[in-house]
Structure formats: structure tokens, C-alpha cells
Structure 1
């Protein structure tokens, strides 16, 4: 083993640890890897920045813009409206239709964007049908993943794989080359969810008391007792505050110090600062209660904000958000967004830190008090996905036909090999802007820059794996362990290995890491590498066992009130089913 191989393998192990522990954002980890390999001399400066000019990176960025064009014109939301009407008739009919709709749409636009568009709609369906939101959101996420593996452009992973194998001299993946195997997964996954998966999802509330239980769960907020409050002078345990409201937890702070006495020993005073945990209904009662002031609203008033009528808005922090890993204070949230976060719910469990200093993560739900005129601005900010049914966003409906025509033309041109997918996507973005489907600023905002940085970084890691000989080194272990069992056993092994790696790495990082190993393995076995590549491609985009293995799972984590174990319970049988199907059918679709 050479020194270069040792360095690259050490970087791979470090990357896995950093990705799994989330101590640093994934895009920063990727860029650190790139810089380390550049400084060590393993890659050249041209190779280091080659990931930014890689066709996959450019194409994925363009597809984000095309997806935004469909959203801004209301093209996708029209389907969502039909789903909402169907949901009022039957929750089971709505579930099947939802999975079909989201799966189909996710085949042609980025599946994370599709879930973000459908999330508020599905919550509305849950409320109208008195169904637990948890029973609908996990099928929503999973179906988007089923659809995403049916075409080249359904997920960024497919585009990245196509670019990598083309660099190795293989034909790129065709627009519909993945469709046959993808439909096998789509049909099997949908049947599993309808017949068994939904029954395995715990009921996290939603059908009994309408909106109160439907919402995202219990929030942490902070209040200040005012002199006119009826609870002033009362023992906390006997106070009107506790007797008239359903508060799950109350902590009292006085002069900056937490009072550790029992509730029967604390006499409330004007100016006491209380940290309170309650659901949305009781939060509203707190907000309207005489003598109770929300600390965040008081702070906003002290900063010069003018009080005005506000609406409560719930918004989940999107994957790749700039808020991920930062607190409200660190992000200078109030000055940046001009709105106040009144309460927080953190990835399915209540946090007990002070609201301003709580470290936010993708999937957290924030509760805002804002003027109706501000709601649309928050909806259009890709940092959040608004999940409250407050008001319908404004769409450019006169441009809907143009947006649909542009995306159809891009897909058709790529499918018929008229022009490369990258060229078609770039031209499509230009037409979207010139036609007024979205503004130039909206086009820039549509790009998930964290994804772009991650892809650029991991492409460089793949180059280093090959150049240093680390890929060949690892492939020898795989061939010695499984090679004698035949190429079909190798498909099964690589699919399973990729599934396990994807549970802790991002899907793009997984394929960038494993595909160089696949090429070396195929050379050792003297077989066509394409079936082995397809095993990695599908597996990396079909992780159901964790909320972090795929972005759509992270997006629904908070609103669905899920726990980590929920994904294991529902997703593990599905991963095993897909592993068996991949082992059987991939060698049939792509013979060795």
C-alpha cells in the first residue's frame, strides 16, 4: 500500500465519520476533502476544480431552475389541487393517487423539489380526511424516491453517475434507460406501502381533534409574565396559567436564574420569564391571553418593530438550508428575514435550550408570527417549506403552458439524443427566464448551492480514488471475497454495500466513492461494468431506513413527528425487498 493510497483511504474514513456525525455541513466536508487532496499533491489544481465544470454539476444546477419554473407557474400545484379534492372522498384513495402523482412528477423534476411542493398539500389532505399526517408523509417521501430512479433526471445521483461513466468511456445513461428497473421498484414499493408499510407507521396524531393534533407537535416557546396577569401572586401549581391551559412543561427563570423549586413552592411574579412547551392550539391561547407576552415579540418591539396583525405560520427548515447547523442568533435571523421565530420543534422531539441559541437542523419546524403580506415571501424562500395552510401562493398561471412545454422539450431532446441533456437543460433555463416563467433572481435562488458544492467535492474524491490506486486496492478485497460466487452475487453485494453506506453518507458521495471501485472490480472479473454500476445507482437513491439517507426523508421528519425507529420499522423490509428485486432483475435488464 502506497502513501497516496493510505492518504486517500484515510480521507474516505474521515469523510464517512464527518458525514455520519453531522459535525460539519456535508458541502463543507466535501470542499475540505478537495483542498486536502490538492495540498497533498494527489490531484492537480485542474482536477480539483474539475467538479465545478463537470457536466453533472452543471446539469443538476439547471434542473433546479427548471423545477422552479414549473412551481412558479403553478404547473405542478394544479395536480396537487386535484389530489386534495380526491382526499376529501377517501383517505386510501388519496394515498394511492398521491403516490402515483408524486412518483410520476418526481421522474421529471428533482424529487426533493417535488416533495417540497406537495408537503403543504398533503398536510391539507390529512386535515380534511381526519387522517394522521404521519400516515401520509412517509409514503409521500418514499414514492418520490420510487419515481426519481425511473429517469435520468429524476435525481441528481443519476446525472452524476452518467457523467462519471461517460468519463470512463462508457455510453452515458439514456433518459429512459433506468425506466424498466425503476418501474419494478415503483410498483413493488407502492404495493408494499399500501398493503403493509402504512400499517407499520405509528399514528403520531391527526384524526381526533382536527388541527390541534394534525400540526407538527409540541413547541418550545418563551413568555414573560406581565403585571396585569391573573397568575401574578399565585402559586405556579395552582395558577390560572396551568389550570386553564394544557402546558406540557413549564420552567421559571427570575433575574436570569432558573428556579429549581417544586411548582407548589414557586409564587409567580411580574417579569418572570417562563420556558413553556405546548401544542399549537395552546400556543395560540398563550398569544391571546391577557397579561402574557411572548418574549420574542417583546424583543422585536424593543428593536423598533411596529406591532400589527399577524398570522401564525409553520415552516420546516429545508435540506441544504443555510440555517442547518446554526442557531437563530448566529444566523442573525430577525435582521435577515424581518420576521420573528416564536417557537421551535426540533426534528421530532422537543428541545429544552433557549430558543435563540438552539442549533437548528434540516427538518426542524419553526413557528412564525407574521403579517399576511410577508407570507408569500417566506413561501418563496428556499430556506423553508411552509406547511401551514395560510393562503395560496401567487402563481404565474398564464405561463404554465410555456413551462410545461420547455420541460417537455428538454426531456424529449435528451431522450432522442438530439442534444446532450446538459445543453438542453441550459437552453431550457434561458427560455424559462426570457418567457417570464421566473425572474433571474428567482433562477439564482432556485439553485441548491450546497448540493452543487457537495457534487463538485465528491467528484474530486472519485478522481483521487482512481489516480492513487485506492479503488483498485479495495476492489481486490471485494473480488477475493465474492468474485468466485459469480457476477450476480457481486450485484447483490454492491447493492447491499451501497445501501449501508448511503444510510450515513449522501447519495452523491456514495456513488462518487464506489463507482471507481466498481470499474476496477469489473476489470478483475472481466465482465461488463454496467450492471454493477446500476446496482450502485439504484441503491444510492433508495435508502428508506434512516431520516438522513435521503433529503426527502429529512424534509418530512419534523412535520410527520417521526422518530428514527419509524424509518427502521417501515424502511428496513422495503430495503430488503428492493435488494432481492435488484439481484434478480438488474442482470436481466443489463446482461453481463
Structure 2
């Protein structure tokens, strides 16, 4: 092993370790790996940022913009209203919803498809008598599966195609992924709709009536006339026990006590930090005569959105879930200036499994958190749209603008058709679609840049040169020899299975695009070592990278349902593990038939 090979493998291991640790954002970790390669002399400084002009990166950004146009025009809502049955049993309803999610994910960003269908899933759970999580997890897995069916369905497919082109075999076509991907997705959707949902823990109440979303951490002030004044905490906790709530802390004179003594006497003006679900919260407040710390009529400055004269009956409570990549992720409620900027109150935050979370205003939000917001319904809706949150309350589907919906669908279909027929490369065809969307105004111009998931773009652009260094130094070939000689012992079929399984394992622990970028050069080297066609190995990487079903961190859609489903980290494998075994069983023979070794 040469010095450069040792160095690039150390950098790669450190990068993967940071991905798995999850302490830093994926794009930051990827850029750190790139800079380490530059400083070590493994990547030329002038080539460090060539990845930003890579066709795969451009294609990902274009797909995201075109997906936003489909969403904004209401085309997806119209499709959902036409496809989802109004009256059907559990199996048919789940199959229709999950199948629709998979279909949409084949042609648009799967996180966007998931966000659009989440409120529909919550309503469906109530109608068919299931806990929301038992519908949300099948939907999340269905949207992930649907991405593997086309070239533009998910970033790993674009990365795989780019590596094939760099290997001198030309890029994969738009529907080259379909024979294997469609069969795997169809089998997966059928499994989760007919059997798999039974494996999902029923967190929260069945029937969808005020579903449990995990306990909220809420601040309640003790007024002068409150029953709690003069009571000891032990007595207060006994009162709250009947309401299924508990005291998680106390704030007095700005000082927070995270574990106050039971003998402590509560005074007027104290703030009790309560842990209660959304149903028990009202009962807990009423029991002791407490007032929510932020429960005041929203007031805004001149020119702000909220109207202080708005009638009381127009002020509503709404639950929002923070999407992965939301611009409020990592920021505290105080930093957001919700009252000053929007005229909204943040009443509570829910993060399952975490009990002591500090003062509500100082609590830093992250993807998957549930927010209990108070304010005018339309202002909350605007806030959700602008900040990347998903409303979970019941809503009517948007009435689509027929002209814009038809135009956006036609533009997407035309761009995909041009790429599929070879009239233009995928990046050029889809970027032409973006240009037409701008000129025909099928999406608001202000959403042109906000629709792009910039952390994913940066991650891809940074990892492409790192993957190039892995190949240029011979480290990929070294790993390939290890796999072929030690694990596969020269058997190409076994090696193919090893690539598929290793990619699936990595994808459960780190970003799927990063997994594809790391595994592609290794897969190509394995194929060369076995004197086999690399196509089957690259397709195995594409399938494996789209199979992050064991953890909430493997894919953004898994993170998105963590709070609304009331899930814990270990809940995903119960459905995810059988699904991954099914994927292997379906994909392996198809890979060998469609892409012979």
C-alpha cells in the first residue's frame, strides 16, 4: 500500500465516521473531506471545485426546481385527489397512497413528494383506523423505493450514471434503471401496503383522533390566582399525574432548575416546564390554572403580517414538522423572532425521547421536531411554506391552476422525453425545462433558488473529486482486490451481492448520495478485477443506495416522519429489515438477467 493510498483511505474513513456520527451537516463533512484531499496533495487545487460543474450536480438542481413547479401549480394535489380512493379498505388505501408516492418520486424530488402527501397520510390514518406512524412509514419507504426507477428519481442514480460515463461506457439512459428498479419498487410497495404496516409500532392513538405525536415540552406561567401557588412540587406532580403530564423543570427569576426538589414551594410568577402530549396539555393547564408562557394574542409591528385586530376565533393552533434542510433547523425560537417577524407564538416543541431540553426560547430546532404554533391560519401556512415545515393539521387540497398545472407537467414530461430519446444530455434537457418554467411562470420566481437543496448540491460537488482521488491513487482497486479475494473469493455473483449489501449498510448510516459516490469507484474496480461488466455492479450500488430503511438518519424522508409518527430510533428496522431482505431477493436475479456479468 502506497503512502497516497493510505492517506486517501484514512481521509475516507474519517469522512464516513463523521457522516455516521451525525454531529456535523453532511455538506460540511464532505467539504472537509475535499479540503483534506487538497491539503494532502491528492486533489489538485485547480480541480477542487470542478464538481460544481459536473452534469450530475446540475441535473439534481434542475430536478428540484422542476419538482417545485409541479408542487406550486397544484398538479400533484390534483393527481392525488384523482388517484386516492375516497372509500376503500386498509390494504387498498395504503397501496394507493404508497404507490402514488413511489410514482411521484420517480420523476420529482422524493422529499418533496413525501412532504406533499404527509397531511393526506395523517387524514387517511384516521379514516382507516390506524396510528399515523403506521401510514407514514409505508409512505416514506414507498417514496424512497420510487426514486430508484428512473435516472432523475434520486441523486445516487445520477452519480452512478456519471461514473459509468467517466469509465468510458457512456451515461445510463433515463429508463435504464427501470427494469430492475420498477420490479423492486413494486414488490416493496406491495409488501409494505399488504403486510409491512403491521410491523410498524402503533405509537399514538389509533383511529387518528388527536394522534399522539410524542410529549411536548411546554412552558406554563403560574399566575397570582393559580391553584399551584404555595403548593409543593410533589403535590403538583400528583395533580398532573391524572392528566398524564409531569414537571420537567422550573424557572424562577431567570434561573432554570432542571431537576427541582419535590419539597420546593411554587410561587406566583414561576414558570413550570411541563412534559405532556397535545391532548393532555389543556387538561394539565386547567387543573392548576396555569397559563402558557407564550399564549398571548399575536402582535406585530407596522408592516408585519399579523393583524392585532384579528378576531379571536381566527387564531388557531397548528402542528408543524421541521423538514430536513429547513432554514430554521439549528436555530433557536428566540433567533427566529417569531412574534416580531410573523406575529406567531411558538407554544411548544416535541422531540421524542429527549426530556430536558432547556428554555423553550433557547431550544435549537432540528429536522423531525414538531412545533405547536399559535396564530392566524394563513400566516402559519405562509410561515410553513417559507421555512420548509410541513403542516400536519387537516387541510383541503389546493385547487390547482389548470393552466399552470398542465404546463408544468408538460415541461417535466418534455424534459424527461428529450433526455430519454437522446436528443439532449440529461443535464441540458432538464435545465432547458427550468428555463421554460421561468419564462412561462409555472413556478414563482422567488422559489427558483429556494427550491434547490443546496446542502445536497455541495455534498455532491465536494465528494466527486474525493471519489476521483480514491480511484486515481489506486485505493479503490486495492479495496476491490480485498473484496474479490477475501469475501467473494473470485466469484462474480458473490461479489455483486457483497457490493449490494455493503452499499445498503452504508446508506443506512450516511447520506445516500455520499454512499453512491464512495461505492462507485470501488464497484468499477471490482468489475475490472473480475473481468466482468461494471454495469451490474453500478446498478447494485444504485439499488443499495436507495435502500435506507433501518434508521431515521439514512434518508431525509425517514427523518421527516420521526416526530409525527412518535417513532424511536429502533422502530425503523422492524419494517426496514424485512424490506431490505426482500429487495436483495428481488434485485439479485434481476441484476444478473438484465445486466449480465
TM-score (ref. length: structure 2): 0.91
Equivalences for 1:24-63 in 2 at 5 Å?
Answer: 24-63=24-63
Is the aligned partner of 1:531 residue 2:530?
Answer: no
Alpha-carbon distance change, 270 to 19 in structure 1, aligned in 2, over 3 angstroms: same
Is the aligned partner of 1:281 residue 2:286?
Answer: no
Per-residue CA deviation, residues 240-265 of structure 1 (Å, 9 max, x unaligned), is 973884424453333325285665x4
Is the aligned partner of 1:229 residue 2:226?
Answer: yes
Moved more, 120-129 or 419-428: 120-129
For residue 148 of structure 2, what is the aligned residue in structure 1?
149
8 Å CA contact 2:248–2:259 kept in 1: the answer is: no
Alpha-carbon distance change, 236 to 494 in structure 1, aligned in 2, over 3 angstroms: same
1:361 pairs with one of 363, 366, 385: 366
- Give 5+ residue unaligned stretches, structure 2: none
For residue 184 of structure 1, what is the aligned residue in structure 2?
183
Aligned-residue offset at 1:429: 1.1
For residue 319 of structure 2, what is the aligned residue in structure 1?
314
Per-residue CA deviation, residues 203-242 of structure 1 (Å, 9 max, x unaligned), is 112325x432x14232111111111334333455556973
Alpha-carbon distance change, 105 to 390 in structure 1, aligned in 2, over 3 angstroms: closer
Alpha-carbon distance change, 261 to 217 in structure 1, aligned in 2, over 3 angstroms: closer
Aligned-residue offset at 1:460: 1.7
Equivalences for 1:399-478 in 2 at 5 Å?
Answer: 399-478=404-483
Moved more, 287-296 or 575-584: 287-296
Equivalences for 1:230-379 in 2 at 5 Å?
Answer: 230-236=227-233, 238=235, 242=240, 245-255=243-253, 256-258=255-257, 263=262, 265-284=263-282, 292-297=290-295, 309=312, 310-329=315-334, 339-347=344-352, 350-379=355-384
8 Å CA contact 2:84–2:97 kept in 1: the answer is: no
For residue 137 of structure 1, what is the aligned residue in structure 2?
136
Aligned-residue offset at 1:97: 0.8
Per-residue CA deviation, residues 469-493 of structure 1 (Å, 9 max, x unaligned), is 2112211211211454421111101
For residue 159 of structure 1, what is the aligned residue in structure 2?
158
Aligned to 2:371, what secondary structure does the other structure show? strand
Alpha-carbon distance change, 548 to 257 in structure 1, aligned in 2, over 3 angstroms: closer
- Give 5+ residue unaligned stretches, structure 1: none
Aligned-residue offset at 1:450: 0.8
Alpha-carbon distance change, 243 to 523 in structure 1, aligned in 2, over 3 angstroms: closer
Aligned to 1:76, what secondary structure does the other structure show? helix
For residue 71 of structure 1, what is the aligned residue in structure 2?
71
Aligned-residue offset at 1:83: 5.7
Aligned to 1:344, what secondary structure does the other structure show? strand
Moved more, 480-489 or 153-162: 480-489
Aligned-residue offset at 1:300: 7.8
Per-residue CA deviation, residues 156-205 of structure 1 (Å, 9 max, x unaligned), is 11112112221221121111111111122123212322343111111112
Alpha-carbon distance change, 248 to 420 in structure 1, aligned in 2, over 3 angstroms: same
8 Å CA contact 1:396–1:437 kept in 2: the answer is: no
Per-residue CA deviation, residues 283-328 of structure 1 (Å, 9 max, x unaligned), is 3556789953322456987999985643212111111233444444
Alpha-carbon distance change, 363 to 243 in structure 1, aligned in 2, over 3 angstroms: closer
1:502 pairs with one of 500, 504, 507: 507
For residue 120 of structure 1, what is the aligned residue in structure 2?
119
Aligned-residue offset at 1:465: 0.7
8 Å CA contact 2:404–2:442 kept in 1: the answer is: yes
Alpha-carbon distance change, 357 to 382 in structure 1, aligned in 2, over 3 angstroms: closer
8 Å CA contact 2:552–2:559 kept in 1: the answer is: yes
Cα distance in structure 2, aligned partners of 1:145 and 1:429:
24
Per-residue CA deviation, residues 29-86 of structure 1 (Å, 9 max, x unaligned), is 1111112222222112332111110001011001001000000011111233346652
Cα distance in structure 2, aligned partners of 1:571 and 1:158:
21
Per-residue CA deviation, residues 505-564 of structure 1 (Å, 9 max, x unaligned), is 211111111111122222221111111111111101112111111121111111111122
Cα distance in structure 2, aligned partners of 1:277 and 1:43:
51
Is the aligned partner of 1:548 residue 2:553?
Answer: yes
Aligned-residue offset at 1:582: 2.4
Aligned length: 588
